Amino acid sequence: MKAIVDRDTCISCGLCASICPNVFEMDDEQIATVIVDTIAPEDEASAQEAADQCPVAAITIEE
Ligand code: SF4
């Protein structure tokens, strides 16, 4: 499972990095960035929750 953030859509709310810090981090421009190539099994549920909770649906989860 992989996560992708659409940088043009992200509004820098920080929610994803707060919900799933093992996968998402805010970069120097305060845009969410994905810090792992493949999401660890134990992080999949929280990564999916972050995607579901993103207020602008900027996160895509791929199998
Ligand atoms: S939850 Fe969405 S809008 Fe908020 S920082 Fe993450 S990707 Fe950006």
CATH 3.30.70.20 fits 2-62, yes or no: yes
User: What gap in Å lies between CA 28 and CA 52, rounded to an integer?
Assistant: 24
Average pLDDT over residues 27-46: 98
User: What gap in Å lies between CA 54 and CA 18, rounded to an integer?
Assistant: 11
Q: What is the mean pLDDT of the chain?
A: 98
Nearest Cα residue to 61 out of 46, 43, 49, 48:
48
23 lines ligand 1 (CB under 6 A): no
Report the residue among 8, 11, 20 best suited for mutation to probe ligand 1: largest number of ligand atoms under 8 A from its CB.
11
User: Cα 58 to the chain's mean position, in Å?
Assistant: 8
Average pLDDT over residues 23-49: 98
> Whose alpha carbon is nearest atom 1 of ligand 1?
54
Average pLDDT over residues 2-13: 98
What pLDDT is recorded for position 30?
98
Could you tell me the residue ranges of all domains in the chain? Answer: 2-62
User: What gap in Å lies between CA 44 and CA 13, rounded to an integer?
Assistant: 21
Average pLDDT over residues 32-42: 98
Average pLDDT over residues 39-61: 98
